Amino acid sequence: MTTPLNPDLHCHSVFSDGTLTPEELAARAKTNGVDLWALTDHDEVGGQQRALEAARAQGLDCVTGVEVSVTFADTTVHIVGLGFDHADPRMAEGLADTRDGRGPRAREMAAQLEKAGIPGAYEGALKYVGNPRLIARPHFARYLVETGVCRDTAEVFRKYLTEGNPGYVPHRWARLGDAVRWIVQSGGLAVIAHPARYRFTPIEEYALFTEFRQHGGQGVEVITGAHSTQEALRYADMAREFGLAASRGSDFHSPDESHTDLGKLPALPADLTPVWSLLAGRVHGAASA
């Protein structure tokens, strides 16, 4: 692998809550000048083989990826895994357990929406589900936009599906230590996704970073579609303070919904250790294919 200039190590396909296939994402990444790519579906590695093959067909370097849902300090935190063995059975089992509650949760979300005057949301959301194992809030959001309840998905998440609003169902996801272990044991690198999104107190955030490191986590997303310039600077400092490598990813979900397209991101601050410098042996190379 030559040093990538435009890595994008976070996006979603129809295997979770994205709207494009792995093949469409690989083609879009290539068009946008991405030179190291990872598909990181929520709690699911079912798209990885197709992503690797599509990347090879595009002449695009690729590492495996996943984004594991975790509950830490009563908050949902996302941990990205990169460069692991996507056939590892412990990873598969852990992700299966993590996905498990999504069906009942979705039915409860629909029941709440019905009480709020929006019937049929479960069936409606299912129309947008590409993978029967994974129903997520964006599938509901798309249905609420389709039916004119909201103008766009951002409005849905302001008015519904979030804490304090109809359709919000608290859920217990994987434990932090388990998620990191599944990733590390299968040969991968664990990365805290979009840390600014969690709205932790300083003490909670310190605990997250400290425990994450103790469990063997090695990276943090500094440049992401979810961070402002200020937030990127702040988490660059956190990466330095905690000795974590830094990652970069758009968190692209859909051409119609995502503000940040694949590969359309600022560079990492030059003094940080990029996660890809730790992934060298785990790249499925375009050139070597």
Contact residues toward ligand AMP (CB under 6 A) are 17, 42, 69, 136-138, 153-154, 157, 253
Judged by CB under 5 A, the residue of 250, 251, 275, 279 near Mn ion is 251
Judged by CB under 5 A, the residue of 8, 14, 15, 17 near Mn ion is 17
Sequence-ordered list of residues with C-beta below 8 angstroms from that of 50, at least 6 positions apart, any chain? 21, 22, 23
Piece of the chain touching Mn ion by CB under 5 A; list 16-24, 89-97, 169-177, 272-280 = 16-24
Contact 286, 59 (CB under 8 A): yes
**84 or 157: whose CB is closer to ligand AMP?**
157
Sequence-ordered list of residues with C-beta below 8 angstroms from that of 190, at least 6 positions apart, any chain? 79, 80, 81, 179, 180, 183, 184, 212, 215, 216, 217, 218, 219
Piece of the chain touching Mn ion by CB under 5 A; list 13-21, 27-35, 160-168, 264-272 = 13-21
> Minimum distance between the CB of residue 77 and ligand AMP, rounded to whole angstroms?
12
Contact 158, 141 (CB under 8 A): no
**Tokens matching residue 140:** 């509901």
**42 or 284: whose CB is closer to ligand AMP?**
42
> Minimum distance between the CB of residue 70 and ligand AMP, rounded to whole angstroms?
11
Residues 71-90 that bind Mn ion (CB under 5 A): 78
**1 or 134: whose CB is closer to ligand AMP?**
134
**115 or 259: whose CB is closer to ligand AMP?**
259
Amino acid making up residue 192: I
Beta bridge partners of 61: 36
**35 or 143: whose CB is closer to ligand AMP?**
143
In the sheet with 75-82, reading across from the earlier edge strand, the strands are: 65-72, 75-82, 189-192, 219-224, 245-249
> Minimum distance between the CB of residue 67 and ligand AMP, rounded to whole angstroms?
7
Contact 26, 57 (CB under 8 A): yes
> Minimum distance between the CB of residue 151 and ligand AMP, rounded to whole angstroms?
13
- Asked whether position 44 contacts Mn ion by CB under 5 A, the answer is no
Place of tokens 């879009």: 28
> Minimum distance between the CB of residue 55 and ligand AMP, rounded to whole angstroms?
22
> Minimum distance between the CB of residue 260 and ligand AMP, rounded to whole angstroms?
12
**139 or 284: whose CB is closer to Mn ion?**
139
Sequence-ordered list of residues with C-beta below 8 angstroms from that of 107, at least 6 positions apart, any chain? 122
- DSSP per position, 130-154: SSTT---HHHHHHHHHHTTSSSSHH
**154 or 289: whose CB is closer to ligand AMP?**
154
In 3D space, the residue among 99, 92, 151, 149 whose CA is nearest the CA of residue 120 turns out to be: 149
Piece of the chain touching Mn ion by CB under 5 A; list 27-35, 48-56, 102-110, 186-194 = 186-194
> Minimum distance between the CB of residue 240 and ligand AMP, rounded to whole angstroms?
27
